[in-house]
Amino acid sequence: MRVVGVTPDAYGGPEALRLFELPDRHAGPGKVRIAVHAAAVNPTDSVVRSGLGHDRQRGTEPPFVPGMDVAGVIDEIGPDATTDLAVGDRVMAIVMPRGSHGGYSDSIVLPDSSVVRVPAGVSLVEAATLPMNGLTARLALDLLAVPPGGTLAVTGAAGTLGGYVVQLAGQDGLSVLADASKEDEELVRSLGADVVVRRGDDVAARIRAVLPGGVDAVVDTALLGRLALAAVRDGGGLAAVRPFSGDSERGITVHQVWVREYRHERQKLDRLRRQVESGTLTPRVAGVYPPEQANVAHARLEKGGTRGRLVLRFRNQPV
């Protein structure tokens, strides 16, 4: 099988990524094998590529393969798999990369609890953008537990993760304030934000100008950290999708969002599927690359400004 990865002697920028051939794997007990058609490129993938996650690779052999979500077709089901899926089904899945087990692969074996059908009417490329980002958004909202009618601010709302948070929060009955550049304002409004303020390090002040008492909670996908706390009312909450440094204030609870906690939440992933089918959740693809150009995709991602996910396509035939 083909994978895109990196070796420890070559950690670094996008140029570190290259193709490797590895032996085929088979589905063991409770697992399924997916012929991967598409794998999303996420900012967290740079942790593997750059070597920042090297400690996690202890006990594994290189190449180290990034990638946290895939879409493809089931081609093997292991014994004792508790699933209604069958060989030939189009599926999407969340991946926890470690060693050579990562989403940038043309074949992957995963627990059946991490795999669901793709939304009807959605391409495998589009479906690949949903599992990790959608579950991260769902986990952030679940941790904050703002009741219907409450107020939520979303930083980085024009991005893939931020956009999913805006849409899911609206479905949860929350009033959503979101940030955006002038160019992205209409996009963020179209995702369902009730109020849009200009993005920037001073976004908390802009939110307070709309709601002087502060919002009930913030999902900080723009990685503002402590700068976002000022937007939250006393005793409210903040969901941090990267490690939060420093202390909180005014009784605000900081919730650290680790999507691995939802990696076996099949029902939650399947709920995301249904929300896409109903039109209340919108996958967005910013570009598609062959695996040989994974370095180009990473370089484009690091430039910023993508509005949707970049995707590696391992198989060109439509399914």
Closest by Cα among 52, 155, 142, 68 to 103:
68
Q: Residue 230 sits in a domain of what CATH number?
A: 3.40.50.720
Tell whether 153 is covered by a domain.
yes
Q: Is residue 276 part of a domain?
A: no
- In the predicted model, is pLDDT for residue 319 greater than 70? no
Sort 212 into a burial class: Cβ within 10 Å, 0-12 / 13-18 / 19+.
exposed
Same-domain status, 237 and 293: no
Residue 129: both structure tokens together: 């953008």
Per-residue pLDDT of 150-198, as tens digits, reads 999 999 999 999 999 999 999 999 999 999 999 999 999 999 999 999 9
Alpha helix positions (H), the chain = 45-50, 124-127, 131-144, 160-171, 185-190, 203-210, 266-277, 294-303
pLDDT for the residue numbered 318: 63
- Is 148 within the bounds of a domain? yes
Domain extent, residue 216, equals 133-260
* 123 and 160 assigned to the same domain: no
Mean pLDDT of 127-156: 98
> Which pLDDT belongs to residue 313?
98
What is the CATH number for 40? 3.90.180.10
Same domain, 7 and 101: yes
The count of structural domains within the chain is 2
Residue 89 has pLDDT above 80, yes or no: yes
- The Cα–Cα gap between 95 and 66 comes to 9
120 and 163 share a domain? no
* Interval 243-270: pLDDT, tens: 998 889 999 999 999 999 999 999 999 9
Same domain, 17 and 44: yes
Mean pLDDT of 15-33: 96
Q: Which helix (H) or strand (E) holds 32?
A: strand 31-41
Mean pLDDT across the stretch 66-71? 98
